[in-house]
Structure 1
Amino acid sequence: MTFDQIAWLPLCAGLTAVGAALAYLAFRRRGVTAGLRGTAWALLPLAAYLTGALRTLWTIGSAAVSFVTGLVLSPSVWAGVALTGLSAVLFFVSGALRGRTLSRARRSKGGAAPADAGTGAPSAAGSRDVTRPIELKAAQPTANDDFSDIEDILKRRGIS
């Protein structure tokens, strides 16, 4: 059925009339706000016809129906849907692996301390242990940290 085969003006006017009657009932039973909202909804079919938006809505609906029909009945489209799903899974897996790689790199840079770091003695190269103050800074929340209050609450509740 095409757009021009339907008598749109009587259909839209009828929908508006039915909607206006229901809006009147809503006004009587539930009050002014319900009646006004029902009237607003009731005016939309006639407004869509008069502005020409109904033809656009018909075209969008027709395109959506033909897309879904082609999707359901076409094996090549289903192959495309399967490839799209596989692509999404690969994106998520690669993101998870990348996150693990980055966390390992951070741990290997800042987390590996010299063997004598626990004693507080200088290392063989004569430099001080630099990782210890960093650990203390990480343990104390900064004033700029927005989540420090939330972290404290979670720690008090035993959730970490």
Structure 2
Amino acid sequence: MIAETVCSAVAVAGLGIAVVTAYRKRFLAAARIAAYALVPLGLVMTGVVEWAAHTAFSPTAWAGVVVLVGAWGLFMATRAVERRRGGTRAERKAARAAQPDAVAPTASAASLGPGTRPATRPATAPKANASDDFSDIEAILKKHGI
């Protein structure tokens, strides 16, 4: 009962702030404030606040949360151990059997033959003289009368 009263009071206060904001001709901000103010009122009207209040103060609900957290922790611990060990024995055997043998384990890069080298880069065009660079700037300055 008290949670519903607090939520309703928050909604009324928010709507009052929205009216004052609209009076100052800030209509977009006023509409946003009104939207935020109507959320607690909607939660009260749908019964979510009552459900949350009963759940928050229920020892059975908190015991259920503890059981869920314990189950999650146990699940994560078993996953961590399984990853550290590399999976189950059957999974490791299947992974070893599925691994293909090397075609030529003693082959080296030199025995594979000559490789092709990429073509060298073409030489870059020679840079223009400094006077050419300044001619563009001079043209721009003359255009603007400087």
Is this a same-fold pair by TM over 0.5?
no
Greater CA radius of gyration, 1 or 2?
Answer: 2
Work out which structure has the larger RCO, using CA pairs closer than 8 Å and 6 or more positions apart in sequence: 2
TM-score calculated relative to the size of structure 1 = 0.41
Taking structure 2 as the reference length, what is the TM-score of the superposition? 0.44
